[in-house]
Amino acid sequence: SEARPGEQCLRSESMIKASLPSAVDSESGFSLLETIAALAILSMALVPLLALQFQLASGATRLERQSELSRATSVARVMLSTTNPAVEPQGRRELGGGWQVTWMSEPLGSPLPARYGLGISSRYRSQVFRVDAELADQDNRKISISLQLLGWVETAPYGSE
């Protein structure tokens, strides 16, 4: 008897299945040795990544500290530039953020009469000062800066000219 086309497909399929090894016959999953090798390879890849992460975090900490020191130095320079060293030759002020500045100044050269334009004398005497300052924070970090500032004193009261 002649096989119908659908029966012929079913027979061919059952012959193919019979020739293939079954899933039960072959080993499935990973062996312990394969798992250990995979973990070793993974750990070799993770160690450099963790070292890089540590280095980046350390760099960010250093950058933040340097930025804070720079900010404190800038604030101290601005504060000192508004100080008249002839009137206040030394002192201490709080800068905020836990920082304080102390300074001492000494005159450079002799005081000179200040002049308006066209050589007209004013009632002030001016002098250049070297101002040495030290910034310190609550963690006892210190920064030293030095500036040259102009100091002035009134030699005659206003209206006596």
A 10 A CB-CB count for 28 gives 6
Percentage of the chain with pLDDT > 70?
80
Cα distance between the two ends of the chain: 140
Query: Residue 133 corresponds to which amino acid?
Result: A
**Alpha helices per DSSP H over 1-156:** 5-19, 32-81
In this structure, are strands 99-115 and 90-96 parallel, antiparallel, or unpaired?
A: antiparallel
10 pLDDT exceeds 70?
no
pLDDT at 20: 55
Residue 112: CA atoms inside 13 Å, Cβ hemisphere, count? 10
Of 50, 54, 51, the residue nearest 62 (C-alpha): 54
The answer to whether 127 and 121 have CB atoms below 8 angstroms apart is no
pLDDT at 147: 95
CB-based contacts of 145, cutoff 8 Å, min separation 6: 73, 76, 77, 132, 133, 134, 135
The answer to whether 60 and 52 have CB atoms below 8 angstroms apart is no
CB-based contacts of 115, cutoff 8 Å, min separation 6: 121, 122
How do residues 83-121 score in pLDDT, each as one tens digit? 999 999 999 999 988 999 999 999 998 888 877 777 777
| pLDDT average, residue stretch 140-148 | 93
- DSSP codes, 17-45: HHHSPPTTTS--S--HHHHHHHHHHHHHH
14 pLDDT exceeds 90?
no
